[in-house]
């Protein structure tokens, strides 16, 4: 069994759901110390009420500009007690009883093996900056707390996309979360309903008035939760709608959100109520041109390995969104995992080996 697979199995057996990455962080600090790299921990854990912060390490190299490699430590949920099986070159959870945690421990294992090969075989490489983040799965919280002033790199890669090796995510949407708080007027639903103003009814009218789903070629919008009311016999005084907007066009997203705000306020006013809309950007977009160094290097490296590079537009977010928004040019690379966030999650042994080789060729091309 390749060393990288053994490392991966060791990693997935360290339970690390979001905000509970302490055991994995301690393991990684020890593991990299064995390779002569000190990982420092920031205060992200304290800031997000987690057990561990982001880890940052540096491996000196030649005269080239530094290269950043990033992966996240947390998994979408606990896989405590997992047993890993390898059959016909496929690595998965035994009887599919747990998530495998390939998202993103594939990325971590590949980085460990890559660095180990560089150090032990004394291979030439650019200076390497390593970042392992926390709480990515619950809003990219760790990356948002990362202090960019601690980093030297201006470009690099996040190893956190599903799909085959050679997948290069160079476009990803901006993401906004919104909350619509609706105020009506309470009344007894049995003998004085005419004195009430139903906040839930206003909410329903707002939902039907909004353009939801795939709004246009750039933009999607959704209302995911509706809550409100106190009892069945009270006209509900309060209601709340929460949702999201994603778009590959920042201007289009902002235009949609302005329309949403105006629609909610007007509908509520027509019914005698009040609507307050709160909007928060969750993460900025990735919009890397084909000419960007990170794209050109990743494409050349894939081709050298006999792999067809594929530029991909993603509908989701990752640490790469935050890093790009902070001025570090980062592409998100496919790591060869499939069915992430489910118990059917798996990766092929051959892809693991290929991913490590991919990193080596990227370092050569850098």
Which long-range contacts link 306-309 to residues 24+ away (Cβ below 8 Å)? 307/164, 307/165, 307/166, 307/354, 307/358, 308/166, 309/166, 309/168
Q: How far apart are CA 13 and CA 91, in angstroms?
A: 13
Q: Which of 136, 137, 160, 345 is catalytic?
A: 136
At a CB cut-off of 8 Å and minimum separation 6, what does 365 contact?
A: 297, 300, 301, 304
The sheet that has 219-228: what strands, in order across it?
A: 213-214, 219-228, 238-247, 174-183, 274-283
Q: Encoding tokens for residue 98?
A: 């747990």
Q: Which alpha helices (H) appear in the chain, and where do they start and end?
A: 3-12, 22-34, 44-47, 102-121, 141-145, 199-209, 250-270, 293-304, 319-325, 349-365
Nearest C-alpha neighbor of 275 from the set 193, 211, 184, 177: 184
CA distances from 57 to 30, 153, 267, 294, 317 (A): 12, 12, 53, 20, 24
Tokens of 272: 């005698």
Q: Does 129 participate in catalysis according to the annotation?
A: no
Listed residue (1, 8, 2) closest to 112, CA to CA = 8
Instruction: Kindly state the tokens that stand for 290.
Output: 């084909």
Task: Verify whether residue 270 is a known catalytic residue.
Answer: no
The residue behind tokens 């906040």 is 199
Q: Are strands 310-313 and 167-172 parallel, antiparallel or unpaired?
A: parallel
Q: How far does Cα 128 stand from its chain's mean position?
A: 22
Active-site choice (7, 15, 74, 117): 74
Q: Is 306 helix (H, G, I), strand (E, B) or coil?
A: coil
Reading the block at residue 102, the tokens are 């390939």
- For the annotated catalytic residues, the residue numbers are 74, 136
């Amino acid at each position: 069994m390749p060393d990288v697979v053994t490392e991966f199995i060791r990693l997935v057996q360290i339970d690390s759901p979001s905000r509970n990455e302490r055991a994995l962080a301690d393991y990684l600090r020890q593991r990299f110390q064995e390779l002569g790299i000190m990982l420092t921990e920031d205060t992200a854990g304290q800031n997000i009420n987690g057990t561990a912060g982001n880890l940052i390490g540096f491996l000196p190299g030649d005269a080239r500009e530094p290269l950043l490699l990033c992966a996240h430590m947390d998994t979408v949920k606990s896989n405590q007690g997992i047993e890993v099986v390898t059959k016909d070159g496929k690595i998965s959870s035994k009887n599919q009883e747990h998530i495998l945690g390939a998202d993103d421990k594939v990325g971590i294992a590949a980085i460990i093996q890559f660095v180990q090969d560089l150090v032990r075989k004394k291979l030439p490489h650019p200076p390497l900056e390593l970042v392992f983040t926390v709480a990515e799965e619950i809003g990219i919280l760790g990356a948002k707390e990362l202090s960019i002033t601690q980093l030297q790199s201006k470009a690099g890669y996040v190893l956190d996309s599903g799909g085959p090796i050679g997948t290069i995510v160079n476009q990803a949407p901006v993401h906004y979360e919104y909350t619509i708080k609706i105020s009506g007027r309470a009344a007894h639903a049995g003998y004085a309903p005419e004195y009430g103003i139903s906040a839930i009814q206003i909410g329903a009218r707002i939902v039907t008035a909004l353009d939801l789903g795939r709004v246009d070629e750039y933009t999607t919008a959704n209302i995911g939760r509706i809550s409100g009311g106190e009892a069945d016999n009270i006209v509900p005084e309060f209601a709340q709608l929460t949702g999201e907007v994603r778009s590959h066009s920042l201007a289009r997203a902002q235009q949609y959100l302005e329309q949403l705000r105006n629609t909610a306020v007007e509908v509520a006013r027509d019914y005698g109520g009040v609507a307050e809309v709160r909007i928060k950007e969750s993460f900025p977009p990735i919009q890397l041109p084909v000419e960007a160094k990170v794209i050109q290097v990743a494409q050349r490296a894939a081709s050298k390995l006999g792999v067809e590079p594929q530029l991909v537009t993603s509908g989701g977010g990752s640490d790469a969104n935050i890093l790009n928004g902070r001025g570090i040019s980062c592409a998100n690379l496919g790591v060869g995992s499939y069915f992430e966030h489910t118990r059917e999650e798996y990766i092929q042994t051959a892809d693991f080996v290929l991913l490590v080789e991919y990193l080596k060729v990227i370092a050569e091309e850098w």
